[in-house]
């Protein structure tokens, strides 16, 4: 191939023609070093984005009120209460809500709510609810009861475990810590109950 032909081909004009099939479709043909290269409009990419999952409107409203909870006004009020439990019988009793805690926000759409109740009979109920704004992720419910009576089996088991480590009897505060632990939300719950969950040192 002589150099004159190469210069003429490489610097040749770009021809553009309109397709007779589609008036909006344009095609450019460029000749480079004897090869034909066609530049066509890119085909539309398939829609890879999935639509967002449906949300629970009720939980979205609850998320918007965090750290406030619906039963915050009920703290200290005697009433009929039902603590829901997954996989176990729900706990129904007359008593009062001693304290509740929830995070200040839930940016990922999931959060937990902690509650401590006291029954009229002197028992304590600990409740943990996990909520999610995604409708396909149902809320989960856990609840346990602490009965200070030495005849109750859970109380006896807790006392036995406690007696192995300390000589003091098991209290409802010990049972609360066994249920909730010491994560930041649990500490916020304990602070609402005063300094009775703090270890005092001298």
Residues 128-149 have pLDDT tens digits of 999 999 999 999 999 999 998 7
Q: Does the pLDDT of residue 66 top 70, yes or no?
A: yes
Q: Does the pLDDT of residue 10 top 50, yes or no?
A: no
Arithmetic mean of pLDDT over the chain: 80
- What is the CB neighbour count within 10 angstroms for residue 191? 13
Q: Does the pLDDT of residue 123 top 60, yes or no?
A: yes
Sheet architecture: strand order including 110-119: 79-83, 91-101, 110-119, 124-132, 140-146
Supply the pLDDT for residue 151. 57
| 73 band by pLDDT with thresholds 50, 70 and 90 | very high
Supply the pLDDT for residue 70. 94
The pTM of this model reads 0.68
Supply the pLDDT for residue 6. 47
Q: Does the pLDDT of residue 162 top 90, yes or no?
A: no
Supply the pLDDT for residue 199. 76
Supply the pLDDT for residue 132. 96
Distances 118 to 18, 37, 64, 94 between C-alpha atoms, Å: 81, 81, 28, 9
| 181 band by pLDDT with thresholds 50, 70 and 90 | very high
Which candidate, 124, 106, 126, 105, places its Cα nearest to that of 114? 126
Which two tokens mark 50? Answer: 């999935």
Which two tokens mark 12? Answer: 């040749």
Range with the lowest mean pLDDT among 12-16, 93-97, 164-168?
Answer: 12-16
Which position has the higher pLDDT, 65 or 1?
65
| 156 band by pLDDT with thresholds 50, 70 and 90 | low
Question: Structural domain boundaries of the chain?
Answer: 3-40, 57-194
Q: Does the pLDDT of residue 27 top 60, yes or no?
A: no
């Amino acid at each position: 191939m002589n150099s004159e032909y190469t210069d003429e081909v490489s610097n040749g004009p770009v021809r553009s023609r309109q397709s007779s099939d589609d008036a909006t479709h344009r095609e450019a043909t460029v000749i480079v070093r004897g090869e034909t290269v066609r530049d066509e409009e890119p085909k539309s990419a398939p829609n890879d984005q999935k639509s967002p999952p449906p949300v629970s409107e009720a939980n979205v409203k609850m998320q918007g009120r965090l750290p406030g909870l619906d039963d915050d006004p009920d703290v200290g009020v005697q009433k009929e209460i039902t603590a829901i439990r997954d996989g176990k019988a729900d706990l129904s009793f007359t008593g009062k809500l001693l304290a509740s805690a929830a995070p200040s926000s839930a940016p990922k759409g999931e959060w937990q709510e902690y509650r401590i109740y006291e029954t009229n009979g002197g028992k304590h109920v600990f409740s943990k609810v996990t909520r999610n704004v995604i409708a396909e992720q149902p809320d989960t419910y856990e609840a346990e009861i602490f009965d200070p009576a030495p005849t109750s089996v859970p109380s006896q088991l807790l006392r036995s475990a406690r007696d192995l480590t300390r000589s003091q009897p098991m209290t409802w505060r010990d049972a609360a810590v066994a249920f909730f632990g010491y994560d930041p939300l649990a500490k916020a719950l304990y602070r609402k109950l005063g300094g009775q969950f703090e270890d005092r040192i001298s």
